[in-house]
Copies of this chain bind each other. A is one copy, B any other.
Amino acid sequence: MGAVTVAVDANGADLGPAEVAAGAAIAAIRGVRVVLYGPAEQIGAAPEGVEVVDAPVSIAKVPDPARAVRATRRASIVQVAAAVAAGDADAFVSGGSTGAALAAGLFEVKRARGIYRPALATPVPIPGNPITFLDVGANVEVRSEHLVQFAFMGAALAQTVLGVARPRVALLSNGEEPTKGTAVVVEAHAMLAERTRGSAALEFVGNIEGTDLTRGAADVVVTDGFTGNVSLKLLEGLSQTLLGAVREAALSSPRAKAGGLLLRPALRGLRDQIDPEGAGGAYLLGLRRLGVVPHGRFTRRGFSQAILLAARGVSGDLAGRTHASLEAAGALRRAPAGAGAPSGSAASVPSP
């Protein structure tokens, strides 16, 4: 991974630019070349292996990120995307606003040829049954052909980054039967059943319900960005709430307290395993190059994981493999030459 360069946006993190810089330092030790765009004054001395570019302008909190990206060329998120577009970096990382990252990606890096819509895809560390989940927020409303592309994008991710040879891909729905779901889901089901017959890239296992998502029924789970965002945050919220309830149960009596003390190291392992920071955030797939969007609330650990996630995606040529897989399946958009332009990008930024 020594050859990989990642452009990192230091603005927008809840804990401030210095925390992102600390994460960059960890990733640099692990062999990634990091260029950090943010307020040099707050970042201070550049850590070893990290180049700092002074970029104090942030649009992480603006209400209309698509417009801000076009109007604010000096914004750090625009600069990291532009660095990737110019070939100065291989991928970008931004924990500011998903909407701004998506808009900057579309505007600077541009959609890959034949892709309808970029999607946010994230590993979800469900105990015993990790899954790749998309779209977790790039597109609150989708058409069936978007879901079909997401299936191949997610499969390429699981194959390239997680090493799953032929990922089992499922559509999230309110029932297993092909007739269950919204009209869009039902149509996507039929299209996927046809498009994936005999596919080497993935095995389409049909619809799965929420219950089965946590039980290892699929490696990749596909849904629209509204359902995906709500679901991902439900999973994160409930994990915290339940582990909190276990902790409280372990304070409910002297006997339980003794048990809790003995059990603590084992439970700490479980807590670490399901911690979203370990996953590093979500890949922005479907652009000509990769982006990674960590949670704004991450600590340095999460940001370092996000940078390493980006580097892993670059090393495995995730963008190229995604494209090849879509092409092999005949799932690329058939459009006049020159498609992939950033037109209409504003419309596709109703983000999380």
Contacts and interface: CB of A to CB of B under 8 A. Distances in A.
Interface in A198-251: 209-215, 223, 225-227, 229-246, 249-250
Contact of A174 (B174, B262, B267, B352): B352
A237 B215 contact: yes
B229 A137 contact: no
Contacts of A252: 266, 269
Contact of A259 (B177, B211, B226, B261): B261
Interface residues of A, number: 69
Contact of A263 (B128, B230, B240, B260): B260
A327 interface: no
Interface stretch (A15-23, A43-51, A66-74, A178-186): A178-186
Given A226-B174, A258-B262, A243 B241 contact: no
A151 interface: no
Interface string A156-182: 000000000000000011110101111
Nearest to A224: B182
A98 to B, nearest CB: 9
A88 interface: no
Contacts of A236: 210-211
Contacts of A264: 259
B262 A237 contact: no
Contacts of A141: 182-183
A316 interface: no
A210 B288 CA distance: 31
Nearest to A229: B174
B210 A233 contact: yes
A126 interface: yes
A246 B213 CA distance: 19
A174 B237 contact: no
A29 interface: no
A3 interface: no
Interface of A: 63, 126-129, 137, 140-141, 172-175, 177, 179-183, 185, 209-215, 223, 225-227, 229-246, 249-250, 252-253, 255-256, 258-267, 269-270, 274, 350, 352
11 contacts: A127-B245, A140-B174, A174-B225, A209-B230, A210-B232, A213-B233, A214-B234, A226-B227, A259-B260, A259-B264, A260-B263
